[in-house]
Amino acid sequence: MVATSHNKQDEELLHQLQNILLKDDRVAIERLQETIDDPTLLSEKISPIIEERMMFFKEAFPKEFKATVDKMIEVKLKASQEEILDVIYPVMGKMIKKYVNHQIQMLKDSIDESIKKTFFSKGILWRIKNSLFGIKVSDQVIHDLKDYQIEEIYVIQRNSGLLFGSASTENTIDQDVIAGMLTAIKSFVEDAFKREREDLEMIQYGTYKILLQNFYSYYVAIAISGTMTSTEREDLANELLTFAEEHLNNMPPEPDGQIFKTISSALGQEFIKK
């Protein structure tokens, strides 16, 4: 009985001692619990810390992770080289063409200037007529020739010669075979003359021309009748670049029936029904 009474007293003393020693801690824990339970209070406390870490992360990220990110980009670029090239090819082409066009325009202006000086007296009526309609002399000479017409257009996989799509003004012989033979001729010429990084750009017979515009994994062949000025050819090349940007960016590795339908329909609308 005596032992039990002592134990109780000890417990009471211990409890009092705990209350005295842990009083402040308990208040602090209670306040902390309230802060954790209340999202507004918690946010007030944590937000500055997160912001500070974010600022640090923003500043330190380029330094700390540059090598890792560079490596990741390098790996990704290597893995999707073909897709990336197909996307940037038309854009690069446009930029180069813009520059070349500018240079050609300067050359044409200089030729016009020379013609003006040379034929001032002889062609005065002709020149008056042209200037009334805003036509340049050099353009007038070329435009007097017959207009061109796109007869057929093909989008062909560069290596295999398989057809991604085609459109034509009338029914021709098997277009798959035409695409294959064009690719064979192209490969033969490019191999035979061994001119690195140079592509066959045109095949001509009589007044019929086949223009070949090369992209990374495919090329476009356009059969044209009539006469085409260099300006018209440039315009057509630009149209093709725009078409490639809009319709040929996500080409599958192998042609299939669905992609053939989609591309053929777009080719028809853009180039044949004009």
Partner 1 sequence: MISRKVILTGSFGVGKTSLFRRFIKGSFSEKYITTIGVKVDKKVVEVRGEEVSILLWDIAGEVKQDKVPKSFFLGASAIIYVFDLTRPSTYKNIGVDLNILDEILPDTILKVVGNKEDLIEDKDKLAKIKAEVNATIDVVTSAKSGHNVEQLFFDLAANFVD
Q: Which residue of 137, 150, 155, 163 would you call a contact of partner 1, by CB under 8 A?
A: 163
In the complex, minimum distance from the CB of residue 162 to partner 1, in angstroms, rounded to a whole number: 5
* Tokens encoding 263: 């591309």
Q: Which residue of 123, 180, 226, 268 would you call a contact of partner 1, by CB under 8 A?
A: 180
* 134 sits near partner 1 (criterion: CB under 8 A): no
Eight-state DSSP code of residue 155: E
Q: Which residue of 151, 255, 270, 271 would you call a contact of partner 1, by CB under 8 A?
A: 255
Tell me which residue of 258, 270, 253, 245 sits closest to 158, measured CA to CA. Answer: 253
In the complex, minimum distance from the CB of residue 257 to partner 1, in angstroms, rounded to a whole number: 5
* 170 sits near partner 1 (criterion: CB under 8 A): no
Q: Kindly compute the dihedral angle of the four CA atoms of residues 220, 223, 227, 228, in this order, to the nearest 10 degrees.
A: -10
Q: Using CA atoms, how far apart are residues 217 and 203, in angstroms rounded to an integer?
A: 20
* Tokens encoding 202: 């045109």
Residues in the interface with partner 1 (CB under 8 A) total 24
Q: Which residue of 112, 190, 232, 234 would you call a contact of partner 1, by CB under 8 A?
A: 190
* 256 sits near partner 1 (criterion: CB under 8 A): yes
Q: Using CA atoms, how far apart are residues 235 and 94, in angstroms rounded to an integer?
A: 11
Q: Using CA atoms, how far apart are residues 185 and 197, in angstroms rounded to an integer?
A: 17
Interface stretch with partner 1, choices 24-32, 146-154, 187-195, 241-249 (CB under 8 A): 187-195
Tell me which residue of 178, 175, 185, 179 sits closest to 162, measured CA to CA. Answer: 179
Could you give the count of Cα atoms lying within 13 Å of 152 in the half-sphere of its Cβ?
20
Nearer Cβ to partner 1 (182/244): 182
Q: Which residue of 20, 191, 197, 250 would you call a contact of partner 1, by CB under 8 A?
A: 191
Positions in the binding site for partner 1 (CB under 8 A): 157-163, 174, 176-177, 180-181, 183-184, 187-188, 190-192, 254-257, 260
